[in-house]
Copies of this chain bind each other. A is one copy, B any other.
Amino acid sequence: MVKRFYVDQYVDRILAGDRVVLSRAITLVESTLPADQDLAQEVINRLIPHTGNSVRVGITGSPGVGKSTFIESFGNYLIQEQSKKVAVLAIDPTSQRSGGSILGDKTRMATLATNPAAYIRPSPAGKSLGGVARNTREALLLCEAAGFNVIIIETVGVGQSETAVHSMVDFFLLLLLAGAGDALQGIKKGIMEMADGLAITKADGDNHQKAEQARAEYKHALHLFPPAPSGWLPPVALCSALENTGLAVIWQMVQEYLTLTQKSGFFTRKRQEQNLHWLHQAIRYALEDRFFSHKLIREKLPDLEKAVAESKTSPFKAATDLLKLF
């Protein structure tokens, strides 16, 4: 009875936009205690009918490209000029939850953090990308239920985090610096082709002409690459936090993408596929967790992995041997 009462409390207060309870629910999602997990899942399942009403935007880019600065300006623009409520989440599998990193996320976006129409949640800590990504996706649903209608998910570009973000957003924006070579420092192969839009940051002052040239080059290059299943050709925008330019153009880009894909049905299909992807991912992670935490497997795995890596035994033979122990 107590539990049901608590579920109702979470549900009612989140739907009323109570950000203290929203934060507590996200903490519940991130908890590794089984009781917390059960409670979190019940809360989310109750809130599911109230989710899905936001624009989900993923943002990535190399260190130094100005991601935080961009997100802060973009968030403020969306609130002030577009009357949006904006939540900012992050996938950073390297972050350790500490006083420092919580403050870190909020201080690096100070003007947005204090805006009553914005909600900034620091990156969840976690051992595995799978866990961190799952926590982020559940936080996204909770933010939608709390009435935020633009959810920005930032990735620091570690490991497979871009793929995880790509599988939970509607629009994926890649931030780039002008200047060949340097522009791509820290961007992994495959990311460019995931992007629905590119934006060249710091396109101001002396840098403006270089940024214009980079835009022309990227536009041309994107033409040479395979078309997206949506039929959308990723545009390349310029922006500057210093001169506060480009934000409207980028929002316009997102709007055009939504119009096109909602009309064609691609938007709905993509969201449905993302839902199924998360179901199958969750099953896969659970099965692998059970397998790799099994005592005998834990004992045998390191030697077999070594033998397989060095081509002393066949991967399939090793897998069969391990599965017999399970």
- Which A residues are within 8 Å of any B CB, using their own CB? 41-42, 44-45, 48-49, 51-52, 134, 138, 141, 180, 183-184, 187-194, 217-218, 220-221, 223-229, 271-273, 275-276, 278-279, 281-284, 286-288, 291, 304-305, 308-320, 322-323
Contact = CB atoms under 8 A, between A and B. Distances in A.
A278 B316 contact: yes
Contact of A189 (B226, B272, B318): B226
25 contacts: A41-B316, A41-B317, A41-B320, A42-B317, A44-B314, A44-B316, A45-B313, A48-B314, A49-B312, A138-B314, A184-B226, A188-B226, A189-B229, A190-B193, A193-B193, A217-B224, A221-B224, A272-B310, A276-B315, A279-B305, A279-B319, A282-B319, A283-B288, A283-B291, A283-B323
Contact of A180 (B224, B310, B323): B224
Given A226-B191, A309-B272, A279 B315 contact: yes
Question: How many copies of the chain does the oligomer comprise?
Answer: 2
A65 to B, nearest CB: 13
A276 to B, nearest CB: 6
A286 B323 contact: yes
A309 B193 contact: no
A19 to B, nearest CB: 21
Nearest to A297: B283
A287 B319 CA distance: 10
Contacts of A191: 226
Given A192-B226, A279-B305, A279-B319, A314 B284 contact: no
A237 B268 CA distance: 41
Contacts of A271: 311
Given A48-B312, A49-B311, A286-B323, 4 more contacts: A48-B314, A275-B311, A286-B319, A287-B288
Contact of A278 (B189, B193, B315, B322): B315
Given A52-B311, A305-B276, A283 B322 contact: yes
A211 to B, nearest CB: 14
A225 B184 contact: yes
A145 B147 CA distance: 62
Contacts of A41: 314, 316-317, 320
A279 to B, nearest CB: 4
B180 A223 contact: yes
Contacts of A183: 224
